């Protein structure tokens, strides 16, 4: 069995796991990647490696110590767990080892890992010069990796042999590769571009410069839907020096821009992250780390449907459950977990947890919300708990009037 931590539309609602409710797991280093769940086991990247946790009883099955922090979501295929290590810092001396003018991101040691998903034992690893923060893509026995040393790799998933690679001039931070037919899509920075790699020809099919990007093109996974890709970048007003996020809809086939949407100006985002988009039916749902607002954008036209301001920064990708009505579940950096009516943006449930929620993905399994926080906790929250806080919902709407 294989499962990406993030699906192409980024809606992570799964239907098995037999969770016990109200489980709070602590005792491992701070969780910094979104959980991936395969066969009842949650795999989570931390400040010093990866933890595998039984979601039924909250028992930690194994811990793997990596050579740096792990921000990738773990990808599991054929009982092998794949992930990468690396941080988001830049070396003081930043000369690319291939001398192609590209910029390296990541300091210290960085590696691409394959470990046994049951035991946590190392199968193989590949050291790299730049960070390996983007989640990998497993497809037909090949592991596709974009990283911080301006390279795109195709790796034999069984033995770790690099089958082929492409040198690009952009580093890739958190823009996890996605696949559409024979094209693999991801975003890069300096230069700020979207890349489409043809896995049959092993060449760049097309690349598109993101004109108004100040940064962040490589900090968010791209969402795909019906031949269109959706990317986000951070822009800066040259006069006011304020920052704002722009959403881009591009043709996957050609890279041609179909529409753009500007979310509004604000201060520089604390985590230098933009929100992660989620596609559901004709809507693109995305939060902002600049305006603290959740948006519903028509994915076909780029028109705003509704917007709702939350308590703080939103870097989390919303999950959507259509029962009994379409409802968004999303968290903010202050540790608030929200239930929001997907049709009109009205907050109908809220629960406070310990620790902020960063650039992660809310996962729903059997009506339980699974989310990790910067305090080092992994929460399993029954959805009903969000609707038991009537006072919290009323207070939210009162404060939102001002």
Buried b (16+ CB within 10 A) or exposed e, 303-321: eebbebebbebbbbbbbbb
Q: Is residue 239 part of a domain?
A: yes
Let me know if residue 135 belongs to a domain.
Answer: yes
Residue pointed to by tokens 């929100």: 275
* pLDDT computed for residue 338 by the predictor: 94
Sorted by sequence, the CB contacts under 8 Å of residue 22 that are 6+ apart come out as 380, 381, 382
Pairing of strands 257-266, 278-280: unpaired
Q: 182 CB contacts (<8 Å, ≥6 apart)?
A: 198, 199, 200
Q: Is the pLDDT of residue 402 over 80?
A: no
CA 99 remoteness from chain centre: 30
Is pLDDT above 60 for 400? yes
In a domain, 3, yes or no: no
- Confidence band for 359, pLDDT divided at 50, 70 and 90: low
Q: What is the DSSP letter of 30?
A: -
What's the CATH number where 149 sits? Answer: 2.130.10.10
Is the model more confident about 234 or about 155? 155
**Per-residue pLDDT at 271:** 61
Mean pLDDT computed over every residue of the chain: 86
Task: Compute the distance between CA of residue 133 and CA of residue 145 in angstroms, rounded to an integer.
Answer: 10
Q: Model confidence over 244-296: pLDDT tens digits? A: 999 999 999 999 999 999 999 988 876 656 788 999 999 999 999 899 999 99
Range of the domain at 104: 13-399
Confidence tier at 142 by pLDDT (50, 70, 90): very high
Q: Is the pLDDT of residue 314 over 60?
A: yes
Q: Is residue 129 part of a domain?
A: yes
pLDDT at residue 28, rounded to an integer: 44
384 to 11, 17, 146, 178, 291: CA distances (angstroms) = 20, 18, 39, 33, 29
Nearest-angstrom CA–CA distance, 327 and 321: 5
Backbone angles phi, psi at 392, to 5 degrees: -65, -40
Nearest to 371 by CA among 320, 331, 323: 331
What region, left, alpha or beta, does residue 349 occupy, with left being phi > 0 and alpha being psi -120 to 50 degrees?
A: beta
Q: pLDDT per residue over 182-232, tens digit each?
A: 999 999 998 899 999 999 999 999 999 988 888 878 888 899 999 999 999
Which pLDDT score is estimated for 148?
A: 92
CA 93 to chain centre: 28
pLDDT digits (tens, 9 = 90+) for 12-29: 554 444 444 444 444 444
Q: 131 in helix, strand or coil? A: coil
Half-sphere exposure of 108 (CA within 13 A, CB side): 12
Flag whether 295 is in a domain. yes
pLDDT, position 273:
65
**Structure tokens that stand for 108 in this block:** 């210290």
Domain count, the chain: 1
| Residue 291 φ/ψ region, left for φ over 0, alpha for ψ in the -120 to 50 degree band, beta for the rest | alpha
| 40 or 345, higher pLDDT | 345
Assigned domain for 7 exists = no
Q: What pLDDT is recorded for position 215?
A: 80
pTM over 0.85: yes
Residues contacting 262, CB < 8 A, separation 6+: 235, 244, 245, 246
Interatomic CA distance for residues 148 and 154, integer angstroms = 15
Is residue 243 included in any domain, yes or no? Answer: yes
Report percent pLDDT > 90 for the chain: 53
Please report whether residue 6 resides in a domain: no
Residue-by-residue DSSP string for 31-42: B-S--EEETTEE
- Compute the distance between CA of residue 91 and CA of residue 389 in angstroms, rounded to an integer: 47
């Amino acid at each position: 069995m294989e499962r990406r931590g993030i699906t192409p539309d980024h809606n992570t609602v799964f239907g098995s796991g037999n969770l016990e409710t109200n489980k709070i797991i602590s005792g491992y280093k701070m969780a910094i990647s979104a959980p991936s769940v395969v066969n009842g086991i949650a795999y989570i990247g931390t400040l010093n490696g990866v933890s595998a946790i039984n979601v039924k009883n909250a028992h930690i099955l194994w811990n793997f110590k990596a050579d740096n922090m792990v921000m990738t979501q773990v990808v599991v295929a054929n009982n092998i767990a794949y992930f990468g290590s690396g941080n988001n810092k830049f070396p003081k001396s930043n000369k690319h080892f291939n001398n192609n003018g590209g910029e390296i991101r990541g300091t210290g040691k960085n590696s691409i890992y394959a470990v046994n998903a049951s035991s946590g034992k190392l199968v193989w690893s590949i050291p790299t010069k730049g960070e390996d923060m983007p989640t990998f893509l497993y497809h037909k026995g090949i592991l596709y990796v974009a990283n911080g040393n301006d390279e795109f790799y195709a790796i034999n998933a069984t033995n770790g042999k690099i089958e082929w690679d492409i040198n690009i001039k952009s580093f890739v931070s958190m823009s996890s590769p996605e696949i559409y037919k024979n094209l693999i899509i991801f975003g890069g920075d300096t230069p700020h571009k979207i890349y489409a790699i043809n896995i049959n020809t092993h060449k760049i099919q097309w690349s598109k410069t993101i004109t108004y990007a100040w940064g962040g093109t490589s900090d968010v996974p791209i969402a795909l839907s019906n031949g269109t890709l959706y990317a986000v970048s951070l822009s800066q007003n040259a006069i006011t020096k304020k920052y704002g996020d722009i959403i881009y809809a591009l043709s996957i086939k050609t890279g041609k821009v179909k529409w753009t949407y500007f979310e509004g100006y604000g201060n520089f985002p604390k985590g230098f992250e933009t929100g992660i988009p989620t596609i559901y039916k004709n809507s693109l749902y995305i939060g902002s780390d600049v305006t603290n607002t959740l948006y519903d954008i028509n994915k076909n036209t780029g028109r705003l449907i509704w917007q709702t301001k939350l308590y703080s920064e939103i870097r989390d990708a919303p999950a959507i459950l259509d029962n009994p009505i379409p409802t968004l579940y999303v968290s903010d950096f202050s540790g608030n977990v929200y239930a929001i009516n997907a049709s009109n943006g009205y907050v109908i449930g809220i629960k406070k947890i310990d620790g902020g929620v960063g650039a992660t993905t809310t996962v729903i399994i059997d009506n339980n919300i699974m989310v990790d926080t910067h305090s080092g906790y992994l929460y399993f929250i029954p959805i009903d708990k969000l609707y038991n806080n009537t006072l919290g919902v009323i207070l939210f709407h009162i404060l939102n009037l001002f």
